Chains A and B, each alone.
Chain A
């Protein structure tokens, strides 16, 4: 069994700071390799010109989800050793709606703006200055929006519990949605550029691999894991 630094209550130690620096390095590297140092490429997702945001983000989510689920299934780690954020529906709905407008307007989000700054984008620097100001503004207006900040707080809510599904069942559905989103993204891009047939050999094989890995969880853990034990 792996002990995470969070489960050891050691996130405030210099050891955690070092690993955070290292993991951040990998994070920035992966984002740059994906081409997220370009605001034009990021904004492209909202205009159907470049769907890389959907492809990269959804692939990353599915990869980490499947990897973690296999590790839980093998008994290497438990979900409650990871910090799970509470579901605060009011704050997350309003926050998400506002974030979407800021994202499409600014062409960046916080992590990618750091990458854009590293790639020499002046618009990324200006966006970051805006985001810093926004954080300060939030602190100043906090007394006014205090009730919204905790509106609809339901504590930690797993999506499969909310929907009354088994964890493995939800993972299979979610993985299928991701694969469908990849094909839809390719279709949108092809329609825009008027390019060739849909579905590269890579995408076909990749789609099969993801679905197979999601189905494999039923073999590894036939007894459904529900909730946070």
Chain B
């Protein structure tokens, strides 16, 4: 509640516009729809403190940080196992994980992440079925970008043994040299190539 009341410093402008629009709608259509506009996002610094405290709890209770790509990889390994069990169990990388692929804390963490996010989405009324993109971009372009981007992230996360959660947040907070190098490299290549993928966000 405190988080909600302290709006982002940048949100004060758009927020007043939202209020006006809401008021105008109520006045003109005479249908009171107070929950139609989702509330603004939490102040990013306070959301960051909340995220940091969750990470700290993970360190103290589990003795391991947060992770997401591990859960995705284990789903991939499970699919691979169902296509060909001998091939998967005999492979050099997935083979080490055995056949009980979902029997791992990182899988439960991934499920928890989805449920926690869904809880917040429902609470804040932010569910919106859509292909998120710029108004001038086609659905096809956005989905191809998402698919190929996902493929690259899938490979990269296995290579680096973690993603923005496992290497970025966790390794960063633990001050591990390799994790900090990973974060720097991620932003270098992101900024270097952003121009090529800009059109999916054009309005």
Contact = CB atoms under 8 A, between A and B. Distances in A.
B147 A27 contact: no
B70 to A, nearest CB: 9
A121 to B, nearest CB: 5
Interface residues of A, number: 138
B1 to A, nearest CB: 12
Interface of A: 2, 4-7, 11-12, 16-35, 37-41, 43, 45-47, 52, 55-65, 67-68, 71, 77, 79, 81-89, 91-124, 126-140, 142-143, 145-146, 148-149, 154, 156-162, 167, 170-171, 174, 182, 186, 189, 193, 195, 200, 202-203, 206
A211 B77 CA distance: 44
B52 interface: yes
Contact of B117 (A7, A59, A119, A171): A119
B110 A99 contact: no
A7 B192 CA distance: 41
Given A62-B173, A167-B175, 18 more contacts: A19-B62, A22-B112, A37-B121, A64-B169, A68-B173, A82-B63, A85-B162, A99-B157, A101-B193, A109-B68, A112-B164, A116-B132, A119-B117, A119-B127, A122-B129, A130-B151, A130-B152, A138-B93
A132 B72 contact: yes
A64 B56 contact: yes
Question: Which label, helix, strand, loop or mixed, suits the secondary structure of the A interface?
Answer: helix
A98 B48 contact: no
B114 interface: yes
Interface string B187-203: 11111111001101100
Question: Which label, helix, strand, loop or mixed, suits the secondary structure of the B interface?
Answer: helix
25 contacts: A6-B62, A23-B61, A33-B41, A33-B42, A37-B117, A59-B48, A61-B52, A96-B188, A98-B155, A98-B159, A100-B193, A105-B193, A106-B147, A108-B153, A110-B157, A111-B66, A119-B127, A120-B130, A133-B154, A134-B154, A135-B76, A146-B92, A154-B178, A159-B175, A170-B175
Contacts of B50: 26, 29-30, 33
A169 to B, nearest CB: 12
A60 B124 CA distance: 22
B49 A59 contact: yes
